[in-house]
Amino acid sequence: MGRLQDKIAIVTGGARGMGAATSRLFAQEGARVLIADVLEGEGHALAAELGQRARFERHDVSDENSWRKLIDDAVRSHGRIDVLVNNAGVLMFRTLAETSLADFARVIDINLIGCFLGVKLVGEQMVKQGSGSIVNVSSVDGMKGANGLGAYSASKWGIRGLTRVAAMEYGHKGVRVNSIHPGGIDTAMGNPYGEPRSEVNKRYGMVPLQRVGEPVEAARVSLFLASDEASYLCGAEIAVDGGMLTGQYYVGFPGAPGV
């Protein structure tokens, strides 16, 4: 307990999924959490659940004015911003041939431009303070290709590159910028039909851990990067993927279960 004691944290997309798990964990560890999301009902409910350590604010990450208001409100209330988790994002399954310009632009606006605005504008506040930690949520699809995920992969590769640049530009000013790269996580985005986890796990036979991840498992990595325990990490890329990027686990080969 207390790994983020009295730190001021913003979590975008914080109302559900990995964002909600992150908001909960940060509050448990002593942070004052600003839950930023367009999902008002879920956001207010989560803030009420977490009590005095959390507040919800409606926030569109693709809108610069929304960012400026969010930052102004946080600084007015608390005097500083110690942590930003750029978690908000959308997923779209569509081949390149099926993807319209409007489809592509929407994913880029939310996933990549939203992250850029957070890094730029919250980063400016952190530089003024001389300290801060930014955690950008990319994806394993920011480290590899995947058919049907052209817009999503492009946005997540962009977040990876943006993180490295920001780490170089902000690190010597006291602001650490790192990225996490979740694989399959059991959220509304990754499991839109709400299948039982036992059923979802059947699709993960080629992942070394052979199961889908839980939202809190990604949140714990964001917590580490946000905390002072990660004081010498800047520009790091941490895959939270059950070993997915290690390679495919071929059932029937030596070392596979039952062989």
Catalytic residues: 152
Report yes or no: 180 and 225 within 8 Å, Cβ to Cβ: yes
**Which residue in 109, 199, 205, 204 sits closest to 158, CA to CA?**
109
Task: Centre a 10 Å sphere on the Cβ of residue 178 and count the other Cβ atoms it contains.
Answer: 24
- C-alpha 125/C-alpha 132 separation (Å) is 9
- C-alpha 147/C-alpha 220 separation (Å) is 29
- Tokens 């041939």, residue? 97
- C-alpha 194/C-alpha 188 separation (Å) is 7
